[in-house]
Amino acid sequence: MRIAYIDPVGPKGAYYFIKNELERFVDQGNNVDFFCLKRGPDNLEYRYYEALIIPDLIHLLLDLEGKGYDAAIIGCFFDPGLDVAKEMLTKMIVVGVAEASLIIAKTLGESISIIVGREKHIPKCIEVIKTKGIEGKITSIQSLGYKVNDMANNSVISELIEKKALEAITNDLADVIVLGCTLEVGHYEELQQKLNIPVIDPVVASLKYAEFLVEIKNTCKWFPSKKYAYERPLEEDIISQRIKELFYY
Amino acid sequence: MRIAYIDPVGPKGAYYFIKNELERFVDQGNNVDFFCLKRGPDNLEYRYYEALIIPDLIHLLLDLEGKGYDAAIIGCFFDPGLDVAKEMLTKMIVVGVAEASLIIAKTLGESISIIVGREKHIPKCIEVIKTKGIEGKITSIQSLGYKVNDMANNSVISELIEKKALEAITNDLADVIVLGCTLEVGHYEELQQKLNIPVIDPVVASLKYAEFLVEIKNTCKWFPSKKYAYERPLEEDIISQRIKELFYY
Amino acid sequence: MRIAYIDPVGPKGAYYFIKNELERFVDQGNNVDFFCLKRGPDNLEYRYYEALIIPDLIHLLLDLEGKGYDAAIIGCFFDPGLDVAKEMLTKMIVVGVAEASLIIAKTLGESISIIVGREKHIPKCIEVIKTKGIEGKITSIQSLGYKVNDMANNSVISELIEKKALEAITNDLADVIVLGCTLEVGHYEELQQKLNIPVIDPVVASLKYAEFLVEIKNTCKWFPSKKYAYERPLEEDIISQRIKELFYY
Amino acid sequence: MRIAYIDPVGPKGAYYFIKNELERFVDQGNNVDFFCLKRGPDNLEYRYYEALIIPDLIHLLLDLEGKGYDAAIIGCFFDPGLDVAKEMLTKMIVVGVAEASLIIAKTLGESISIIVGREKHIPKCIEVIKTKGIEGKITSIQSLGYKVNDMANNSVISELIEKKALEAITNDLADVIVLGCTLEVGHYEELQQKLNIPVIDPVVASLKYAEFLVEIKNTCKWFPSKKYAYERPLEEDIISQRIKELFYY
Amino acid sequence: MRIAYIDPVGPKGAYYFIKNELERFVDQGNNVDFFCLKRGPDNLEYRYYEALIIPDLIHLLLDLEGKGYDAAIIGCFFDPGLDVAKEMLTKMIVVGVAEASLIIAKTLGESISIIVGREKHIPKCIEVIKTKGIEGKITSIQSLGYKVNDMANNSVISELIEKKALEAITNDLADVIVLGCTLEVGHYEELQQKLNIPVIDPVVASLKYAEFLVEIKNTCKWFPSKKYAYERPLEEDIISQRIKELFYY
Amino acid sequence: MRIAYIDPVGPKGAYYFIKNELERFVDQGNNVDFFCLKRGPDNLEYRYYEALIIPDLIHLLLDLEGKGYDAAIIGCFFDPGLDVAKEMLTKMIVVGVAEASLIIAKTLGESISIIVGREKHIPKCIEVIKTKGIEGKITSIQSLGYKVNDMANNSVISELIEKKALEAITNDLADVIVLGCTLEVGHYEELQQKLNIPVIDPVVASLKYAEFLVEIKNTCKWFPSKKYAYERPLEEDIISQRIKELFYY
C-alpha cells in the first residue's frame, strides 16, 4: 500500500519531522511518502492561505492518484480541500487529519477536548467540526497561544500542551485529548503516558485511518459516494473548460 | 457609492442579464459594475470549480478595494470565499448573495424555503447555512432539477420555480421563498405577485444589502471584526512569502 | 422617509437622550420622531410590564401606519410585540432593536457577545434569540448588574461595559459586542474605538436597519409575509369584535 | 382545592362545554370554576388577539389569587401569558394547557404528534414548544384546516381528528397524540379507544396537572422560582407606577 | 393506592432512611412500600452494576404489577430500566426519579442545575437527559465529588450541596436546583428554605409524580403507549423462549 | 489477531450465515470466531430482551478478554452493552456494529439513510444515534416492515431493501445506505453494485473496524479512556460484592 502525506504548505513551511513520525508508525509492508506543495505560504493559519493552496493541493492529489497511490493524507487540522478531494478522486482514498482524529476520539470516550495552536484557530475549528457533522461529544477547544510556526521544534510546547490537557481534564471533564495541529506531532506518547488517557496525534491518526480506509476500499469496495455531495464534474467538461491549461501550476 | 458585482466564473459563464437587473435596482446616485473572472469554469456547481476560482476572486476583491470600491458582491449562492474576503479586506464591504438573501428572509417570515437548481446543490447549501449560523427558520430546500447553465434564458424555469414554490408553501408552510441561485434572476417580481408572499432574488437582495452595509460602515464604522475569525495575515508576511509573485494570475 | 422610534414605556420612563442619538444618525433626507406611550411603567424589565404595554404599542403602531410613517422601531431589546406588529401592519415596516442588532452582528463576526443590564434579563434574552431563530454564533450573554433605569445618564456604566466587553473578548472569544439594552445608548463609539472590534448600539442599529427595510420595501416590494405566521385577522372581524371600543386607550 | 379554569376570550367566545368536561374530571373534593374575560375577541388565533387579552388575564389571575384559589388554568394551547403569570403570582399555581399536555405526553411515549386547528397555528405552536424547552420527542404538528370557532359543536371534527391522528401514527410514527386546541375537547376518550394509543385532551390534562402542582406546592413547597426568570416587580414599584389605575379594566 | 419504591441495589446497599422520607410525604390514604433487590451491588455508579440489576428489577416490577401495585418507582437518578419497564408493564405505572424531578423542575423555572455525586456520574446523566428529550433548560451539572455510598448519613454533605447550589445560582443562573442522586435525600427542605428557590428531592418528586400518574391513569386512561417505542413482546413469545426459567433469579 | 463476533442471542437465534460472511472478509492472518450466548431470546427487538442478555454478554466479553482475544464485536445494531463493555474491558477492544457502520458511512458521504427491520426499531435506533453523538448527517431511517427473525434466509428481503434504498436515494437524497440490522447480512455487495453508492453491511463494517481498532491499540496505545465515562469499578469491589457468585450464569 502506497500512502502520500501532504503537508499542504510551500517548501519552506514543510515540517520534515513529520516524515520520521510517519515512518515510525506506518504498517509494515506499507510505504509512506512525504510531500509538500511547490509553492505556498509556510502556514495555513489564515483562511486566505488555506484558499490559496487548495487548487494546487487538489492537482497534486489527482497526480498522486494517477501515479497509483492508494491514499493521501491532507496534513492540516482544518482539513483543507477534503470535501473537494472526495468529489474529484475516483480511486485514491483521501483522509483529513481532523476527521481521522475526531472519529477515533469518539470511539474512545464520551467527551473530547481539542488543543489548538491559538485563539484564531478556534472559530475555524468549530466550523470544520460543524460541517463534518461530528460536533457531538466535543466538550471544549483549548488554545496554546502559539502560532503554528512557533510550535515546531519548540521544547516549551510539550509542557504547555500538558498544562492545557490537565485543565481540559479537570474543568471540561475530557475523556480524550485531541492534538489539534500537526505541528504538535511528537508529543503524544509521553503525554498519553503521563495523563493516562488517550491522546490523539493527528498525524499518526490520519496515517492509521488511511490504511484502514484503503483496506475497506479493497475488501468491501467502500469508497466515497459520488451520488450527490461528491458528484464529480465530467472529465469532458473539465477538458472543454481548459482547466488544466488555466489552473495548473 | 461604487459597488462591484462579481459573477465568479470565467468570461464564458458570465450571465450579463444580471447586469441589467442590477442597474434596475441600484440606488440612485450609486453605481454598480459587473465583473467576472479572467479565467474560470462557467459554473460553480462543483466544489472543485468553486475551490479553483477563490484565489482569483480574492485577488480581484483586493484589487477593487484598492481602486476605491465601497462594496463587492460575490454572485454565487454558495457564497464562495466570503469568509476569506472578510479576513482579507480592510476597507471594502463584501456581501454574499446567500447571506444577504437569508438575512432578509428571516426578517420577513417564520419559515423559509430555498429553491436551488438541482439536488447536487442541496448538501452544499446546507453546509453554507450551517457555517453561517443561520439554520433557524429554514424549513426546506427544494430542487428544480436543472443544471445552473441550463437555467439562463430558459423560459421553462419560471413555471418550474412557481410549481416548486407552491409545493413549498403547501407542504412546508413556507412564509417566504428564497431563490437559491443567481441564475434564477429575473423571475422574482412576477412570482411574488402571483404567490402573494415575499420572493427573494439573491442578486437584488445582495445589492441592497451591500448598499446597507456600506451605509452603516460609513455612518457607524461597523465593519467585520478583525479580532479572531477574520484576523488578517500581516502585509509584511504576505510579501515575505511572495504570495503575489506566486499566486496572482 | 418618516421613521418613528418608540420607547415603549410611559412618559416618565422615556429616555430623551435617545432622540439626540437618532437625529445624529438618521440618513439625510429622512426624518425620525421619538415617541413614548401615553401610559406605562418606566421600564420593561418584567414580563408583566412588557405584557401591559404591548396592546397600546400595537395601537400606536397602527396609528403611525395610518399617519403615513414608513417605519417604526420598537425600542426595547426584548423586541416586545414585534411579531404581533408584523402580523397587524400591512404597509409600515416595523423593526425590533434586538433583531436589527443581532442580524448586523452576524454579518460582522463569527462569535457575538451580548451585554445586558442584569441577570434577570438573561433568560428573557435567550428566549428572544431562540424564537427568532438567530441563536447561532451567539457565544455569551454578559450582565452589568444594573437595573435599566439606573443605567441612564450614569457615568459609571461606560467603564463597566468596557470591563464586561473585555471579559467577553478574552474569555468568550467575542468578535463582536452587542449592547443589549437601549439604555446603553451613547457609549458605542468610544468603546468601539478602544476595543477595536465592532460594538453594536441597538438604537443606531435599528434606525439604520429600518431605513434599509423601507428601502427594500419600496424598491423590491419585500414586506413581511402574511401567509402563515403573520396572517392578519380580517378588518371586519376586528370591527365586529368591537376591539377598538374595548381595547384602545 | 379550588381551581379556576379561564377560557381567555370574551364572553361571546367562551365555550361552556368545557365546563361540563372539567366537572366530569375534577378530583372528588376539589372544585373547579369556569371563567372567561370581561372583554376580548372570541378566539386567540392571532398574535394580536392574544396580546390584547394578556393584561386582563393577568389581572384576573391576581384577583383569583387574592380570592384564595389554589390554581388557575390558562385555557388556550398557546399558553398565553403563562410566563408572565409565573412571574406575578406568589401563592396560586398557574398551568398552561400546552405545557401540561406535552409534559404528560412525554412520559407516555417517545414520539408525539400535535393536532392543531389550522396551519396558522403551527408557527406559533413551534414557538411555544421552543421557548418551553420541550421540543425533544415532538415529531410532527398536523393541521385540521379548521378555524378555532368552527370546531366547537362540530360533528365533523371528531372524524377529521381521527383521520389526522391515523396519518400521524402511520407517517410520523406517533406514540402519542396531543389535541392541540381546547376546542377539540370532548373527543379524546372515543378516539383513544379507537386508536389504542394515548390521546391527550389539553383541558383534562391541565386540570389534572393543576391538581398535581397544588398538591406538591402544599406538600413540598415547590413553587415557581422567583430568582431570575420569574423575579417579580416590587409591589411598591407597581403602586408607584399607578399600574392599577392605568391598566385595570 | 399502593406504591412500591425500589432502591435498585442489593440488600446491603438499601438506604432505609428513604423509607421514612417516603412515609412522610405519601398522600394520606395511599400506601408506599420500600423494596430493594434480592441480589445486587450496593451502588449503581457503574454502567456494569446498572446493567446487572436491570433484569431482576424488571422481574420485580412484573411481580409487583401482578400483586396489584398501582405504581412503582425506580429509585436511582440514572432511571435504570425505565424504558424497559414502560415496554413490559401493562397495568402498573412506573416512574423514574430523574424523569419526575426534571419534569417538575421545568415547570418551576427557566434554568435548572443538577447536583450529582461525582464527576463519573456526569456523562451518564447527560445521556439520560438526552435520551429522554428533556435537555432544554438544563444549564449545568455540578459534582459534589462524593461516591454514592459515602453520601448516606454524612453530615458534611448538606453543607457541600449548599455550596454547590450557591455556585450554580451565581455562575449558572440556576432558577431551580435538582438533587441528582437519591442519596441526597433528606436535605432539600432545609436547603430550599435557605436558598429561597425550589430544590427538588428526587425521592419525593418521584413519589408525588407516581401518585399523579396513577391518578390520570385511573381517571383518563392515560398510560404509556404500546404502539412503537414500548411495543411489548407477546406473552406467548416470552413463554416459548423460556425466559422465566432461564432468567428469573 | 483473534477476533470474536458475538451474536448476542440464545443458541436458537444465532444466525450462522454471519459466520461465513465474517470468514470471507477477515484479514488474512487474522482469525474470527463466532459466538452466541448460552441462554437468551432469539432476537433483540424488545428493550426487555436486550436488557436480559447484557449481563451474560458482558461476562462473555470478560471471559474472551481473559482468553486473549484482541477484539470482540457485539452483533446487534442497537449496540447493546457497548458502553458497559468499554467500562469493563481493559485489554480487549470492543466494537458495536452500529457505531462501526455509521462512522464509516460518515466518511463516505454527507447524508446517510439507515434501513432497519421494522418501525419498532426506529425509536431505539434514534436513541442509539443520539447517545453516541453521531446524529449529524443522518437523514432518514427507513423500515422494511419485517421482524428480525423473518429476515434471515428470506429471498424477498433483498428486493425490499433495494426498494427502500431507492426511496432513500430519491426522497432523502442519501449518499450512503447503512443496513441497520445484522440480519440484512449478505445483501450489500449486490446492492452496492446495483445502486452505485456505498452500502454498509454492519457485520462486515464491524469486523474491519475491529481490526483497525486493534491495530491502533497495538501501535499507538489508543484504548477507551477509563477517566470519567468508562471508569471501571475496582476489582476488589466487584469481588467483595460477590458479583461473580451472584450474577454469572
Mean pLDDT lowest among C64-78, C92-106, C205-219, F119-133: F119-133
- Gap between the Cα atoms of F93 and F95, Å rounded: 7
pLDDT, mean of residues F92-105? 97
In this predicted model, what pLDDT tens digit does every residue of A39-58 receive, in sequence order?
A: 999 999 999 999 999 999 99
Is F in contact with C (3 or more beta carbon pairs below 8 Å)?
no
Phi and psi at residue F86, to the nearest 5°: -65, -30
pLDDT, mean of residues D97-110? 96
pLDDT, mean of residues A23-30? 96
| Buried-state track A107-128, b at ≥16 Cβ within 10 A, e below 16 | bbbbbbbbbbbbbbbbbbbbbb
In this predicted model, what pLDDT tens digit does every residue of B44-87 receive, in sequence order?
A: 999 999 999 999 999 999 999 999 999 999 999 999 999 999 99
pLDDT, mean of residues E154-163? 92
Say how many domains are in chain F.
2
Q: What is the DSSP letter of D74?
A: E
Q: What is the DSSP letter of E49?
A: H
Do residues A243 and A154 both lie within one domain?
no
Q: Do A215 and F208 touch (CB under 8 A)?
A: yes
List the one residue out of F102, F104, F181, F188 whose CA is nearest residue F146: F181
Helix/strand/coil percentages in chain E, nearest 5: 50, 15, 35
> What ipTM does the predicted assembly reach?
0.97
In this predicted model, what pLDDT tens digit does every residue of A65-89 receive, in sequence order?
A: 999 999 999 999 999 999 999 999 9
CA C48 to chain centre: 18
Do residues A27 and A53 both lie within one domain?
yes
Do residues D125 and D197 both lie within one domain?
yes
Q: Do B87 and A49 touch (CB under 8 A)?
A: no
The residues with which B3 forms a beta bridge, in sequence order, are B32, B71
> Which residues on chain A are in Cβ contact (under 8 Å) with B123?
228-229
pLDDT, mean of residues D45-64? 98
**What pLDDT was estimated at residue D65?**
98
- Gap between the Cα atoms of D28 and E184, Å rounded: 35
Mean pLDDT lowest among A230-244, B39-53, C150-164, E66-80: C150-164
Do residues A86 and A209 both lie within one domain?
yes
Examine the pLDDT at A130 and tell me if it is beyond 90: no
Is E in contact with B (3 or more beta carbon pairs below 8 Å)?
no
Examine the pLDDT at C155 and tell me if it is beyond 90: no
Examine the pLDDT at E133 and tell me if it is beyond 80: no
> Which residues on chain E are in Cβ contact (under 8 Å) with D109?
224-225, 227-230
Q: Is the distance from CB of D6 to CB of D75 less than 8 angstroms?
A: yes
**What pLDDT was estimated at residue A11?**
96
Q: Is the distance from CB of C176 to CB of C105 less than 8 angstroms?
A: yes
Look over chain A and give the mean of its residue pLDDT values, rounded to a whole number: 96
**What pLDDT was estimated at residue C232?**
98
Do residues A106 and A196 both lie within one domain?
yes
Q: Do A119 and C173 touch (CB under 8 A)?
A: yes
Q: Do B197 and C136 touch (CB under 8 A)?
A: no
Which CATH number do you get for residue C40?
A: 3.40.50.1860
With an 8 Å Cβ cutoff, the interface of chain B facing chain F consists of 119, 122-123, 126-127
pLDDT, mean of residues D18-44? 97
Do residues C215 and C181 both lie within one domain?
no
For testing contact with chain C, the best of A126, A167, A171 (most C CBs within 10 A) = A126
Minimum distance, in Å, between the CA of residue E49 and any CA atom of chain D? 25
> Which residues on chain C are in Cβ contact (under 8 Å) with E110?
123, 126-127
Q: Do B227 and C136 touch (CB under 8 A)?
A: no
Look over chain F and give the mean of its residue pLDDT values, rounded to a whole number: 96
> Which residues on chain C are in Cβ contact (under 8 Å) with E111?
123
- Gap between the Cα atoms of B145 and B176, Å rounded: 21
pLDDT, mean of residues F210-235? 98
Examine the pLDDT at F130 and tell me if it is beyond 90: no
Do residues B192 and B210 both lie within one domain?
no
Minimum distance, in Å, between the CA of residue F187 and any CA atom of chain A? 12
With an 8 Å Cβ cutoff, the interface of chain B facing chain A consists of 10, 39-42, 45-52, 54-55, 58, 81, 83-84, 87-88, 119-120, 122-124, 127, 130-131, 228-233, 237, 241, 243, 246-247
C-beta pairs of D160-169 under 8 Å, 24+ apart in sequence: D161/D115, D161/D187, D161/D191, D162/D191, D162/D194, D162/D195, D164/D115, D165/D113, D165/D115, D165/D191, D165/D195, D165/D199, D166/D195, D167/D142, D168/D113, D168/D115, D168/D139, D168/D140, D168/D142, D169/D113, D169/D195, D169/D197, D169/E227
What is the Rg, in whole angstroms, of the alpha carbon atoms belonging to chain C?
18
Which CATH number do you get for residue C167?
A: 3.40.50.12500
What is the maximum span of chain E, computed from C-alpha positions, in angstroms?
58
> Which residues on chain A are in Cβ contact (under 8 Å) with B51?
51, 54-55, 58, 81, 84
> Which residues on chain F are in Cβ contact (under 8 Å) with A133?
106, 110, 134-137
For testing contact with chain A, the best of B37, B44, B247 (most A CBs within 10 A) = B247
Chains that touch A (3 or more CB pairs under 8 A): B, C, E, F
For the beta carbon of residue A66, count every other beta carbon within 10 angstroms: 10
For testing contact with chain B, the best of D120, D125, D126, D167 (most B CBs within 10 A) = D126
Q: What residue numbers bound the domain in which C138 lies?
A: 99-200
**What pLDDT was estimated at residue B93?**
98
Q: Which three cell numbers stand for residue A149?
A: 510556526
CB-count burial class (<10 Å; 0-12, 13-18, 19+) for E27: middle
**What pLDDT was estimated at residue B45?**
96
Q: Do C243 and D81 touch (CB under 8 A)?
A: no
**What pLDDT was estimated at residue A152?**
84
Do residues D105 and D188 both lie within one domain?
yes
Higher pLDDT, residue B199 or E156: B199
- Gap between the Cα atoms of D58 and D82, Å rounded: 9
Q: Which three cell numbers stand for residue C148?
A: 435599566
What is the chain D residue with the closest CA to C13?
Answer: D241
**What pLDDT was estimated at residue A133?**
76
> Which residues on chain D are in Cβ contact (under 8 Å) with F123?
110-111, 173, 175
D133: pLDDT confidence band, cut at 50, 70 and 90?
confident
Do residues A114 and A233 both lie within one domain?
no
Q: Which amino acid does the sequence have at F212?
A: F
For testing contact with chain A, the best of E126, E140, E141 (most A CBs within 10 A) = E126
Mean pLDDT lowest among B174-188, D72-86, E135-149: E135-149
pLDDT, mean of residues F149-174? 93
Kindly give, in sequence order, each residue whose CB lies less than 8 Å from that of residue B224, ignoring residues fewer than 6 positions away. Answer: B86, B89, B230, C107, C108, C109, C198
**What pLDDT was estimated at residue F67?**
98
pLDDT, mean of residues E90-97? 98
**What pLDDT was estimated at residue D81?**
98
Look over chain E and give the mean of its residue pLDDT values, rounded to a whole number: 96
**What pLDDT was estimated at residue D152?**
84
Q: Which of A165, A186, A201 is the last residue of a domain?
A: A201
Q: Do D208 and E219 touch (CB under 8 A)?
A: yes
Q: Which three cell numbers stand for residue B12?
A: 464564458
Minimum distance, in Å, between the CA of residue B194 and any CA atom of chain D? 20
**What pLDDT was estimated at residue C153?**
78
> Which residues on chain F are in Cβ contact (under 8 Å) with D111?
123
Examine the pLDDT at A134 and tell me if it is beyond 80: no
> Which residues on chain B are in Cβ contact (under 8 Å) with D126?
110
What is the Rg, in whole angstroms, of the alpha carbon atoms belonging to chain F?
18
Q: Do C198 and B224 touch (CB under 8 A)?
A: yes
Among B25, B216, B226, beta carbon nearest to C208: B216
List the one residue out of A215, A206, A199, A220 whose CA is nearest residue A72: A206
pLDDT, mean of residues F74-92? 98
Q: Which three cell numbers stand for residue C35?
A: 415617541
Do residues D196 and D127 both lie within one domain?
yes
Could you tell me what percent of chain E has a pLDDT over 90?
A: 93
Among B42, B122, B229, beta carbon nearest to A241: B42
Do residues C110 and C194 both lie within one domain?
yes
Mean pLDDT lowest among C216-225, D180-189, D240-249, E146-155: E146-155
Examine the pLDDT at A106 and tell me if it is beyond 80: yes
Q: Do D111 and F119 touch (CB under 8 A)?
A: no
> Which residues on chain C are in Cβ contact (under 8 Å) with D232?
46, 48
What is the chain C residue with the closest CA to A123?
Answer: C110
Higher pLDDT, residue D145 or C149: D145
pLDDT, mean of residues D65-83? 98
Minimum distance, in Å, between the CA of residue B109 and any CA atom of chain D? 10
Do residues E192 and E217 both lie within one domain?
no
Examine the pLDDT at B133 and tell me if it is beyond 80: no
List the one residue out of B100, B2, B7, B106 whose CA is nearest residue B53: B7
